[in-house]
Structure formats: structure tokens, C-alpha cells
Amino acid sequence: MAAYRGRLARFRSRPNAGETIVQKLLIMGVEKEVAPDVSCGQALKSVLGEKRFENVLAARSGSNLLDLSSSLPPDSTELTPVEAGSPAGLAILRHSAAHVLAAAVRRLFPGVKISIGPAIENGFYYDFDYARPFTPDDFPAIEAEMSKIAAEDIPFTRRTADRAEVEALFRSQGENYKLELLDSIAEQTLSLYTVGDFTDLCRGPHIPSACALRAFKLLSVAGAYWRGDEKNPMLSRIYGTAFAEEAELKAYLRRQEEARKRDHRKLGKDLELFEFHEDLAPGMVFWQPKGMLMRTILEDFLKRENLKRGYSLVQGPQILRKEAWVKSGHYDNYRENMYFTEIEGDVHAVKPMNCVGHILLYESSLHSYRDLPVRMAEFGVVHRHEKSGVLHGLLRVRQFTQDDAHIFCAPEQLEDEILGVLALVRDLFGLFGFEYTMSVSTRPDRSIGSDEAWKLATDALFQALERAGVPITVNEGDGAFYGPKIDVRLTDSLGRQWQCSTVQCDFNLPERFELVYVGKDGERHRPVMVHRAILGSLERFIGILVEHTAGRFPAWLAPVQAKILNVTEAQETFVLETAASLTKAGLRVEADLRNEKLGYKMRQAQLEKVPYILVAGDKEVEAAGVNVRPGGGDSLGLKTLDEFMAMVAADCEKPFKQGGMNYSFS
């Protein structure tokens, strides 16, 4: 470790030539006078000291990230370190790991073509074109070569070159993908980074030396079309991850292993919830009876909750003529995600969202200010054209159901309506035990409407979040094409974040469709529209919930709440009668009368993750009760059927009472 630290310090401290003019800098709160021929690394080291500097990978000047070997920018007034474990440090480390991966693959597989390799959330990847697809069997050799490059203490060096020189370099190497990337870059002077014999187009920054890469792992390989276009060649995408410390890598790999065990596609099949037939219906879900029952329970609960909160349930058609989507702006701004069909010479679109149908329902009658707000909810099936490469079980599909709603309100009602939606988000995610964060996504480049309308909508979202006491973060340019939105990201039991809820504020579609209401003054006014989905896609939410709970659903939602097992044939009649009584009382019960040992049947019920396992032997028959084991755990002893039903009702109601929803299952 000491040898590693010493080698890395050499690269961090390498000076660059420059004019000897004193430059004043603020470094970690310390004022420092340095000469421009001092590198960023030397300037930081002079303040941080040897020990703390060991953990620094790059420097930050204003909004710019810089290599430690870079000269100080002439206009710099402040310099801060980018440490290995920070978000920016990890991104640099992982981006550098992608370059080392490419260097290793080039060493091992002559003739390989190299395309792109960015850092991504929790890791990195690089895409390769080779005579055969890469497989995980190749990983040990590639990882060994990456470790060898790190052990060789190979520096990352940066230089600039003009376009002609870069083109000649990649042409001499036969790197056709790099040449195609070069065609899409306007600059004439380009930045190149070299590690070993691998040189790449890159803006940087990078770690000073490959020796900083000491905690990494290759994870998987997948096919990926060049530039995401199925008309282009299929490349091998090798995924990996890297961390500042080995302990962090091991913890991440443990979480990944747990995630694999919880994979909703595997559990969905094991628990007989849903299945997929990608050869016949890619991106579509086939719901098994148990899965459909659970989905129906969830949907029915959400419908009742909507009704309690003042929504009316509506339903629009699956397809509308193209003209409706032209008027809404979807045709110009969203059509690449839509499916089209022709009926008697007219072009129709399968709806990708429900808002246009709800607009048409609103405008079918004239509304007074006394009618507002009008809240319409629909569990609408929508279709979106997703590329095959991004489809992923329930989490990314082409057909899904949204718990969608649209609120038409007067401008002065807008903030209160947004707050009402945020309260519903709070209640529903609290019910399932999810923590969450919220952010505001602002106007994208591709959008409709005036600056004034966008400002009014964005201000309303900010003000509502402020009133709700929610910390505000901003995703610049990530709004819908018709309005800004609040995005809600929930965190599951493995610490992963998922985008689910969205609350969108829209002044533009009411304008396009000329929606009105009659105000107190007798004049016609324009309403504001709030688009909202709480769970988002039911399919996606159920996939997240399966992995969050590892398939062990709360009792109120479990498709089978209890399984009754007999000990011998002598209890068969009692078990069937008990199952019938509990079913009649509203419980979801199955009986297992198979001629198997009780231990085997109990293990099967545990694998099925049934909330309650009920055992009936001679003693239970005599007492007209059942032996109760919650989740297959320790026995709670003999209970009468009334006692057991009261227990299940209390178990079902508990999460609702904790969230103040007071929902009754008795």
C-alpha cells in the first residue's frame, strides 16, 4: 500500500512549464500564493499535506474538473480537491477504469474494435466489436490484465491534437467507431488520453496513474447496438464497477448478490405471479392468476383511495386519430415513442398516455368555477415504443397501466391541488415502507408554450414544495415537453433508487385545446392542468415491490394469505371445511392436502412466502382451531378461527393505521 501511495504521488505532483507569475488561490479556506508553473496537484498538496493528499484524484476550479497534473487555470481564484470516495471522485475513477478495461481488451484480443466507455451510476462499461461476442468466461483474463496494467504503474497522460492528426491516428488503427464519433464533434482541437498503448478521445479528467485502480470488478456482458440503433452492428458491452476501497467493493458485491436473489423476474416465476414470452410479445406481461389477483387488490385499493380524495373514475379509448396528437403536441415532440395504425385510410395512434382522453372528457361540457377542481382518475393501459435493448421484465415494458389522473383547476387552486397530490404520495409510499426524495425537472429544449407559462408552472411547483417543507433539488431540462414536473424517487430495501411518481404542472395543453370554465365574473377563463401518477406504472411498481420485499408481501396484499396443511388423511375434511369458512369470511386461503410429510409441505409454503401457515392435526380438529405460524416462523400455538381472523385483520390494518389512513379489513 505504501508503495502504491508513493508511485501515485509522483504523477499527482508532476509540474507543467509556465510563466513565473504569482497567482493567489483559496485552497480549502487557506489563502495561498503559487506560481503558474505549479500543477493543480502541487498546489493542493502544499495545503493538504502528504497524508490527506494521498486520497485526492483530481482538482476542481469553479465548475471545472482538472487533472492533478494540469497547470492552474489563469483565472482560478479557488481550488478544491476531488477525493476518491466522493461522487465526483468515483465518477473519475470509474471512467478511468473503463479506459483500463479497453487497454486490457486490446492487449488480449488483437483486432478488437473499440467504441465508447463512460462511467455510469454505480460503475462503467465499454462497448467492443470483436470476431465473437465476449462472455463472462473472458472476465478472469481481462481482470488479470487490468490488474497488471495497474501494477505497472502506467500513467494517464493527456495531450491535445488537431483533427487531422486524430483522424490519422484512428485510421491507422482501423478504429472505425472512433472515426464516426470524430465526425460528430465540431471542435478542431481535440483532447486525447493515453494509458499504455491505448489512446482515446476524451475530455477527462482521469486518475493520475492506473495504480489508483485497485478495487474493481467486471460484472456482466450484454449486447448493445452501436448508438442504440438496431440497424447498426451489435457490440459486446462489458459492465464493471470500481470503488476507492476494497471494503466498499465487497459491500457493493454483497448487495448485488442479494439483488440477484430478489430479481423480480425470477421471483415472479417462482411465486407464479407473471411471466414473459419475449419471442412472441416482447415488452408485454402475462399475468398468472396469483399475480393478477395481487394486482387487482392493489388497483381496487387505489381506486377507492382516489374516490375518497375527490377523484372521479373515467376511461378513454385506446386509440385516437392522429389529429388529436398533433393538436396536443405529442406528434411533433413524442411520436418516436408512439405506435400508429391506419383505419379506413385515417392514421390513428395508440395512446402513450391518458391526458388527451381526459382533456376531451373535460371539454365535453361547460364547467363553472363552482365545479372546479375537476379530478379525473384512470387506470389506463398505455403503449410506448421502447427499444428492445432496454426492455427489462416489469421495470421497462412496452405496455403498462398507469395510476393516472388529471386535475383541471383554477390558477388560484393550483398550489393546494399540488399539495393534495404530495399528500397522496406521502401516504402511499409510507404504506409500503419506502423512503423517497423529490426534485423539480425544468423546461427541456424540446418543448411547447411561452416562457411566461413555463415560469408560472415552475413557480407553482417550487412554492408547493416549499409549503410542504420538502427540500428542493433541480433537474435542469428534464421536464415534460408541455410542462415542468416534480419527480419522486423512492429508495428500496437495498438502497436502490427508482423513479415512480410524477406531478406535472401544465398551462400549455389547456391553451392548445382552448379549455375554459366560467368564472365568478361570468367570463370564460383558462384552467390549469395537473398531470399526476403516484405509483406510476403498476407493472413497474409491482416489480420494484417484489424486489423490495423479496416476494414477502404484506398480508393485505398477498395473493394467498394463509395455507392450511393437514398432518394426516384424518384431517382432510376439517381442512377443507376450515378453508371454506375462512374464504367465506373474506380471507385468501389455499389448502395443501398432498400426501407428503408435514415438514416438506411447510418448507414449500415458506418458499411460496405465504404470510400464515396453518397446521391442522388431531388436537386442532378436536379444538376446532388451527396451529398458526406467521411466515413459517415460530408457532403461535392453537388459535380458534375467530382469533386467527382477528389476527389477520389487525396485521392487514397495521400499516394503514401507522400512516393514519385507518383502512379496515375486518
Instruction: Spell out the alpha helix ranges (H) of 339-387.
Output: 355-362
Which CATH code is given to the segment(s) 274-549? 3.30.930.10
Residues 6+ apart with CB under 8 A from 399: 283, 284, 285, 381, 382, 383
Residue carrying the nine cell digits 398480508? 555
Catalytic residue numbers read: 355, 384, 402, 404, 406, 485, 531
What is the pLDDT, as a whole number, of residue 25? 78
CATH 3.40.1390.30 fits 562-658, yes or no: no
Would you identify the CATH topology of the domain 2-83? Ubiquitin-like (UB roll) (3.10.20)
Cβ–Cβ < 8 Å for 37, 86? no
CA pair distance 146, 216, nearest whole angstrom: 9
What is the pLDDT, as a whole number, of residue 486? 95
Q: Residue 21 class from Cβ within 10 Å (0-12 exposed, 13-18 middle, 19+ buried)?
A: exposed
Distances (CA, A) of 55 to 88, 233, 245, 383, 608: 13, 41, 11, 49, 48
List where CATH 3.40.50.800 sits in the chain. Answer: 562-658
| Joined grid coordinates for residue 45 | 498538496
CA pair distance 490, 4, nearest whole angstrom: 40
CA pair distance 564, 576, nearest whole angstrom: 9
| Joined grid coordinates for residue 384 | 410506448
List where CATH 3.30.980.10 sits in the chain. Answer: 94-103+123-261
- Using DSSP's 3-state secondary structure scheme, residue 242 falls into strand
What is the pLDDT, as a whole number, of residue 21? 61
Where do the DSSP E strands lie in 121-163?
Answer: 123-129, 156-162
What is the pLDDT, as a whole number, of residue 13? 47
List where CATH 3.30.930.10 sits in the chain. Answer: 274-549
CA pair distance 540, 220, nearest whole angstrom: 23
| Joined grid coordinates for residue 490 | 423512492
Residue 627, H or E segment? strand 625-630
Amino acid at 453: A
Mean pLDDT by 10 residues, the chain (666 residues): 48 46 76 82 88 90 90 84 93 96 96 94 95 96 96 93 94 94 90 93 93 94 87 94 96 92 94 94 96 96 95 96 95 93 95 95 96 96 89 93 96 95 93 92 92 93 93 90 93 89 94 96 96 94 95 96 96 96 96 94 94 96 95 88 95 84 62
Instruction: Spell out the alpha helix ranges (H) of 194-320.
Output: 246-261, 264-270, 289-308
List where CATH 3.10.20 sits in the chain. Answer: 2-83
Backbone angles phi, psi at 180, to 5 degrees: -65, -40
Which CATH code is given to the segment(s) 94-103+123-261? 3.30.980.10
